[in-house]
Amino acid sequence: MRTQVCIIGGGPSGLLLSQLLHLKGIDNILLEKHTRDYVLSRIRAGVLEHGFAALMREAQCGERMDREGEIHDGFIIAHDGRQSRVDLHKYSGGNSVIVYGQTELTRDLYDAREKSGGQLVLEADEVQPHDLTSAAPYVTYRKDGAEHRIDCEYVIGADGFHGVSRKSIPANVLREYEKVYPFGWLGVLSRTKPVNPELIYVKHERGFALCSLRSQVLSRYYIQVPLTDKVEDWSDDAFWAELKRRLPEEVAARLITGPSIEKSIAPLRSFVAEPMRYGNLFLAGDAAHIVPPTGARGLNSAASDIHYLYHALLDHYQKGDDRGLENYSAKALARVWKAQRFSWWMTTMLHSFPDSIEYDRKLQQTDLAYLFSSEAAQSSLAENYVGLPF
């Protein structure tokens, strides 16, 4: 098989790029290790920045997002016995975010790719890129017991944190930066009415908690847990009881609980791999960088990579201009590091750290006191949360 662009990974990054390129007549094949149902079963992001939403519309996949997604103009931070509202709209110059689940967005992208006859290979095993620094790279994989080969011009590594793409960059070229946090988030999805119309981020001495939602009948809640905890340790009743202990009393009193329809623990990690290009391989999304979910930046950072990569490939194929491809890594990383900084700051301000000293806890309190006493500080939070410009 031969194509212009071979995309490894059928998560939101790979699918979005595949669809955008397809609409501009750039031939591409996407290889995904798992089934579509498996990819859709992973409950992840819920908050989309407007730049991401714009890309979904450009990909002609924004219709259901615009119909069913909820526009949020602000969120609450509960801390030190208070509930303080961050007015995103006011402090970001009229912007907002859209609450629309990654599962639904990924479903929309799969539907669009399938409707337009996109070349998707699902359950592709042993995917391996080759000859990445030559002008004729290729990707091999196994499917139904047979070996296949795709010759292409560019390989896009959009295969997430555990993918094969980043691992194909030689160790003497790749530089990795990593920070592992000493806790994880236990998340529960339940078919219940959300406790609040807006998200509530909770800083509590027992640990962080988050009340989020997918729709008016579907809630998503998280609590900070030690890394040693296992999902099996947490019955639904234990989860709800612990969440209630961390919520402000009047919020806990109106919390509607129900059986969990998904429950999982995600460890919190910050990670960046540099450079994001090696020869004709370009990394995008979680394949190159991870943030703790506190700032809702992960999927949104993936979207900015796709924005840069899409325009770079368009310039290459339509105008013969390679400057975008040459600058891709530096440009993407500049924005990636800002998302890293913001996510680290939100995480540090709102979580309980097992090894913190009294001094650290005073600084956390002061960070929040300063935030809600300063319009400049709230503007800084708001412009990062709604998404810095691409």
> Which of the ranges 237-245, 298-306, 316-324, 358-366 carries the binding residues for ligand RFL, by CB under 6 A?
298-306
Among ligand PHB, ligand RFL, none, partner that 286 touches (CB below 5 to 8 angstroms by kind)? ligand RFL
Nearest-CA neighbor of 269 among 344, 165, 203, 207?
344
Q: Interface with ligand PHB includes 72 (CB under 6 A)?
A: no
Q: Interface with ligand PHB includes 77 (CB under 6 A)?
A: no
In sequence order, the 6+-apart residues with CB closer than 8 A to the CB of 373 are none
Among ligand PHB, ligand RFL, none, partner that 387 touches (CB below 5 to 8 angstroms by kind)? none
Give, as ranges, the residues between 100 and 119 that touch ligand RFL (CB under 6 A). 102
Mask of contacts with ligand RFL, 182-221, x by CB under 6 A? ---x-x----------------------------------
Q: Are 189 and 211 in contact (CB under 8 A)?
A: no
Tracing tokens 């027992």 back to the chain, one arrives at 206
Give, as ranges, the residues between 220 and 279 that touch ligand RFL (CB under 6 A). 266
**Based on CB atoms, which residue is closest to ligand RFL, 26 or 31?**
31
d(CA 382, CA 275): 29
Copy the structure tokens of residue 28: 């591409």
Q: Interface with ligand RFL includes 325 (CB under 6 A)?
A: no
Q: Are 21 and 28 in contact (CB under 8 A)?
A: yes
Which ranges in the chain belong to alpha helices (H)? Answer: 12-23, 36-41, 50-58, 63-68, 88-91, 102-115, 236-246, 249-253, 298-314, 323-350, 358-371, 375-385
Q: Interface with ligand PHB includes 46 (CB under 6 A)?
A: yes
Radius of gyration of the chain (CA): 21
Residue with nearest beta carbon to ligand PHB = 46
Q: Interface with ligand RFL includes 346 (CB under 6 A)?
A: no
Q: Report the interhelical angle of 298-314 vs 12-23 (nearest 10°).
A: 30
Q: Interface with ligand RFL includes 12 (CB under 6 A)?
A: yes
d(CA 182, CA 228): 9
Copy the structure tokens of residue 306: 């796709």
Give, as ranges, the residues between 145 and 174 that touch ligand RFL (CB under 6 A). 158-160, 162-164
Closest approach of ligand PHB to the CB of residue 287, in Å: 20
Q: How many Cα atoms sit within 13 Å of 355 on the Cβ side?
A: 3
Give, as ranges, the residues between 265 and 304 that touch ligand PHB (CB under 6 A). 293-294, 296
Among ligand PHB, ligand RFL, none, partner that 207 touches (CB below 5 to 8 angstroms by kind)? none
> Which of the ranges 7-15, 79-87, 197-205, 364-372 carries the binding residues for ligand RFL, by CB under 6 A?
7-15
- Burial of 16-48, coded b for 16+ CB within 10 Å and e otherwise, reads bbbbbbbeeebebbbbbbeebeebbeebbbbbb
Q: What is the DSSP letter of 2?
A: B
**Based on CB atoms, which residue is closest to ligand PHB, 14 or 46?**
46
**Based on CB atoms, which residue is closest to ligand PHB, 164 or 346?**
346
Among ligand PHB, ligand RFL, none, partner that 220 touches (CB below 5 to 8 angstroms by kind)? ligand PHB
d(CA 292, CA 180): 9
Query: What residues does 326 pair with on adjacent strands?
Result: none
Among ligand RFL, ligand PHB, none, partner that 294 touches (CB below 5 to 8 angstroms by kind)? ligand PHB
Mask of contacts with ligand RFL, 41-60, x by CB under 6 A? ---xxxx-------------
DSSP reduced 3-state for 382: helix
Burial class (CB in 10 A: 0-12, 13-18, 19+), 287: buried
Mask of contacts with ligand PHB, 200-219, x by CB under 6 A? ------------x-------
Among ligand PHB, ligand RFL, none, partner that 86 touches (CB below 5 to 8 angstroms by kind)? none
- The per-type count for the chain, helices as H runs and strands as E runs, is 12, 20
| The only residue of 298, 316, 332, 385 in contact with ligand RFL, by rule CB under 6 A | 298
Positions that interact with ligand RFL (CB under 6 A): 8-14, 31-34, 39, 44-47, 102, 124, 127, 158-160, 162-164, 185, 187, 266, 285-286, 293, 296-300, 302
Positions that interact with ligand PHB (CB under 6 A): 45-47, 199, 212, 220, 293-294, 296
